[in-house]
Amino acid sequence: MTRWEIYEYLLKGLYLGLWVFLALQVPQEEADLWVKIVWTTSWMVIAFVVVFLLASLWQVIRGIRPWRNWLAFPIFVLLESPTFIYTGILMGVVISVYSGNPAAEGWVGPLVERLGSSFEDIRHSFPSSEWLSYCIAGGLLLGYGFYRLRQTEEPRWRLWLGLVLAAALAYVAVAFLQRLEALDSPWSRWYLGIHLMLGIPFFYILSFCGEAEESEVEIMALCATLGASLHLLGFGQQIPGMGGATSFLVPLLIYYVYAVFLLPPLRVFKHVLRGYSYMHIGQLRVALGFFRRALKLDPRSRWALEGMIRLHRRLTPAVIAADAELARVVDYGLCLDRAGALLMHPPTAEQMREAEDFLALVEQKQPRLQARVDYLRTLADLHRKDYEAAAARLARLLDPSAGYDPAVRQEVLFEAWELALRLHPRMAEVGQAALRQPGRRMEAIAAVERRLRREPQNESARQLKRELYAELTESEFIAAVSPEGEVPQDFDYELTAQLGQALLDDPERQRRERGRELLRIAARGLAGRAVGLYVQLADSYEKDGEAENAQRALTMACQVAQQIGPRRLSEEQYRHYLAALQRLAQEAERQQDYARAISYWRRYLEDGGTAALETYRKLAELYGQIGDPLNGLLMVETALTYDKSDADLLRKKDTFYYSLDSKRLEEVREKVAPWFDVDYCVRKATAVLNAQQASVELLDWAAHLAQLAALMRPQSNAVRLVQARVLLRRGQREEGLKLLEDIHYESEKGSGAEEEAWYLATKLLGQLYLEELNKPENALHCYLQYKEYYKSGADTLYQIARCYEALGDWVRAMQHYKAVTGFEGHPLVWEAEAALRRLQEGSR
């Protein structure tokens, strides 16, 4: 806001303050009410009329001719003479205030007497000096409040805040006035209400003519004053059935209606009127500013648009050359709009000249708009039937390398293509030649799509769109894809998908291929649906027996899904993705490309595929096909977590453990440790060794399992026990004995299976000491240790007795033989009794 506009609000507040002061000067007698009212308002009217005449004379001097429009002239004088109007109204209210002061009696008294009254009738009855200061200060403060409220930028906030403040100001004013003793009579309140109401028109004139754009602030103050006046006049009580609140509701209703329905067009009207007035006196730049402000407030204002057009008709290169500032603010786009309107239909000679003037002006002053100028000149050439010139201009417009400003060329590109392809038969050759150039069809499609976004119901654009898409090739589309892989944005991928899907089941093979081409294009732009579209393509290819193309389409479906992220796909697209992986894996297996099949199945599992058990089973089989028992074993072990009793998986497990290379296992020992089943190796090897008759092959299997287990748990008692038994079965007695001694003498018993293995090794070692190595004392040590095991029994006592007997300690031998006989039904009871008899006879 300018400094003068700030002063305007302060002066408005000052006027209200002074007028309230005058209204508070209630006459002493009821009969003098009208004398005082007429006196104060007369000065206001006289001062206003005088300054209005002076302002009118000034406008005539400036070049305004009132006889051209007698109705608009007074309004224009008000709008363009705010200094005069403010001076006159404030001068009138100041004279009214000063004339009631005793110091003015010398010159006011004779004047009042000539009018048939006396100075006492207009003398201020209130403590004038004190209240005048209050009213002036209060008025200026109120004006500053108006200024601050006007700075609220959001109109809606300003509207409702003004409504609340209007009600609040009216209520506060009434509450304050009712406390004054001078207003204790009905006629004094009536005088105050009438006096306040008479000041409203002058306040509105101040608001109407001010340079500051009228806003909700002024009508708020006006309605607050009106509400207080109506309440003082007893407006609500005078209407049957209405209460005192009516005095406030009526002004609030006026405020809302004026602020919402009348104020917006009134603002536009003021600017349009000023624009026309300044245009008539030749101040085009100032007029342009007012028209532009009017169009900003209401872009659909017919008056403002007509005024802007009329102003631009006066703009010639010579006029603009004479005013550099005007050249900077001229709306050259509007010049072109006007020229376009003139050339849209066959123009008259005068209209053609006017259009050419506009085009020449823009071409000279705004070269950036050359694309729009050339399009309109093409229309002009066609109207003149200069088809050769029109074709040359149109061909240049359709050429992206012609040097036009890209943004401006884009504005007329749709019209240019429409003209070349549909509107004029003599331009069809230009359009078809352009379409044959690389990238032109996609550019035309982009122009059509932009137009349809702005005008969805444009039937001409729809028709042109159908024609352009009908001949689009995949190579044309791919050429428009950026090097970074970004697809064109101004393109209807959804329509392309629909057209492609409609052709997939066409009886003609060529049309089916056209449908696939369109689907491939659509899939590039519809990332959220691309997986399903590629699967549709694969289905179509499979129906025609094109397996290779089907695989390629499924591969693209998977690649797109992985780029997006499988978990970010919609549920439907996610299902398509998993199905594509399955089909690719199955086809790779059919082609005996087991490695590729494995990669697809593994991806299927990693991305959340269902039927995990069967998928792991399939992977195990595929790893078996490529001779990778280690990974096959991993698949089997994982599958067994779903069903431990699956017979097929258990057979595969036997096979893979049998085929597993120990060197390979040693290389990855740490990686496979979490899932490698050492206990299985021990159990299987033990079962083979426990067999009474084991073939060489079975014994080799047990040795292989023992070796695998030893690689994973070299210090395990159970593993070393199996190794020792294998060595013993193979006849490697010393190596077997060494392992058993290491277990017994060097290892901890441990717990569970390890503890059981330690005791079994101890027992076996005792047996070897006693029966093969003739070391009864060592054997006795082992059997005594084994006796502590909870599984020991009669057989252990029997072996201990044999050790004592071999050592010559027959007494202890007999004690242990006798202990064996206590196990009734045990097979060794008879042998123990025989040994007892033998020892007893020998001791005689």
Taking only the tens place, the pLDDT of each residue in 381-439 is: 999 999 999 999 999 999 999 899 999 999 999 999 999 998 888 899 999 999 999 99
Query: pLDDT tens, 770-806?
Result: 888 889 999 999 989 988 888 888 899 998 989 998 8
Segment 700-713 mean pLDDT: 88
Question: Looking at residue 744, what DSSP letter applies?
Answer: I
Q: Residue 32: what pLDDT?
A: 67
Query: pLDDT tens, 127-157?
Result: 556 778 888 888 888 778 877 777 777 777 6
Question: Looking at residue 590, what DSSP letter applies?
Answer: H
Cβ(556)–Cβ(536) under 8 Å?
A: no
Q: Residue 172: what pLDDT?
A: 67
Query: pLDDT tens, 152-170?
Result: 777 776 667 766 766 676 6
Percent of residues, the chain, with pLDDT higher than 70: 91
Q: How far, in Å, CA of 714 to CA of 363, rounded? A: 93
Q: Which tokens hold the place of 39? A: 């006196």
* pLDDT exceeds cutoff 60 at 254: yes
List all residues 6 or more positions away from 811 whose beta carbon is below 8 Å from its beta carbon.
Answer: none
> What b/e readout covers 142-178, taking b as 16+ CB neighbours within 10 angstroms?
bbebbbebbebeeeeebbebbbebbbebbeebbeebe
Q: How far, in Å, CA of 268 to CA of 298, rounded? A: 7
* pLDDT exceeds cutoff 80 at 189: no
* pLDDT exceeds cutoff 70 at 692: no
Q: Residue 375: what pLDDT?
A: 92
Predicted confidence band at 217 (pLDDT cuts at 50, 70, 90)? confident
Q: How far, in Å, CA of 348 to CA of 146, rounded? A: 54
Percent of residues, the chain, with pLDDT higher than 90: 26
Of residues 596 and 30, the one with the higher pLDDT is 596
Rounded to the nearest integer, the mean pLDDT of the chain is 84
Q: Among 35-39, 76-80, 117-121, 757-761, where is mean pLDDT lowest? A: 117-121
Q: Among 81-85, 464-468, 534-538, 595-599, where is mean pLDDT lowest? A: 81-85
Query: pLDDT tens, 521-534?
Result: 999 998 889 999 99
Query: What number of other Cβ atoms are within 10 A of residue 77's Cβ?
Result: 24
List all residues 6 or more positions away from 208 whose beta carbon is below 8 Å from its beta carbon.
Answer: 78, 79, 214, 270
Query: pLDDT tens, 305-319?
Result: 888 777 777 766 667
Predicted confidence band at 173 (pLDDT cuts at 50, 70, 90)? low
Query: pLDDT tens, 603-625?
Result: 999 888 888 889 999 999 999 99
Q: Please, what is the end-to-end C-alpha distance for the chain in angstroms? A: 141
Predicted confidence band at 553 (pLDDT cuts at 50, 70, 90)? very high
Q: Residue 829: what pLDDT?
A: 86
Q: Among 334-338, 421-425, 571-575, 597-601, where is mean pLDDT lowest? A: 334-338
List all residues 6 or more positions away from 430 whose beta carbon is below 8 Å from its beta carbon.
Answer: 391, 394, 395, 398, 420
Query: pLDDT tens, 733-749?
Result: 889 889 888 888 888 88
Q: How far, in Å, CA of 676 to CA of 665, rounded? A: 10
Q: How far, in Å, CA of 656 to CA of 617, rounded? A: 13
Predicted confidence band at 1 (pLDDT cuts at 50, 70, 90)? low
Segment 754-778 mean pLDDT: 90
Q: Residue 407: what pLDDT?
A: 93
Segment 198-208 mean pLDDT: 85
> What b/e readout covers 296-329, taking b as 16+ CB neighbours within 10 angstroms?
ebbeebebbbebbeebbeebeeeebeeeeebbee
Amino acid letter at 160?
W
Query: How far is CA 219 from each of CA 293, 298, 332, 463, 694, rounded to the nearest angstrom?
Result: 21, 21, 38, 53, 113
* pLDDT exceeds cutoff 70 at 843: no
Amino acid letter at 128?
S
* pLDDT exceeds cutoff 90 at 699: no
Cβ(307)–Cβ(272) under 8 Å?
A: yes
Q: Residue 488: what pLDDT?
A: 92
3-class DSSP state for residue 203?
Answer: helix
Q: How far, in Å, CA of 750 to CA of 745, rounded? A: 13
Whole-model pTM: value is 0.63
* pLDDT exceeds cutoff 70 at 210: yes
Query: pLDDT tens, 55-84?
Result: 888 888 877 777 766 767 787 787 788 888
Query: What number of other Cβ atoms are within 10 A of residue 83's Cβ?
Result: 14
Of residues 206 and 68, the one with the higher pLDDT is 206
* pLDDT exceeds cutoff 80 at 667: yes
* pLDDT exceeds cutoff 60 at 695: yes
| Sequence-ordered strand ranges (E) for 719-808 | none
Q: How far, in Å, CA of 725 to CA of 747, rounded? A: 17
Q: Which tokens hold the place of 353? A: 């000249």
* pLDDT exceeds cutoff 90 at 116: no
* pLDDT exceeds cutoff 60 at 323: yes
* pLDDT exceeds cutoff 90 at 535: yes
Segment 708-733 mean pLDDT: 88
Length of the chain (residues): 844
3-class DSSP state for residue 118?
Answer: coil
Query: pLDDT tens, 590-605?
Result: 999 999 999 999 999 9
List all residues 6 or more positions away from 402 whose beta carbon is below 8 Å from its beta carbon.
Answer: 396, 409
* pLDDT exceeds cutoff 60 at 826: yes
Cβ(606)–Cβ(566) under 8 Å?
A: no
Q: Residue 442: what pLDDT?
A: 92
Of residues 762 and 104, the one with the higher pLDDT is 762
Q: Residue 495: what pLDDT?
A: 92
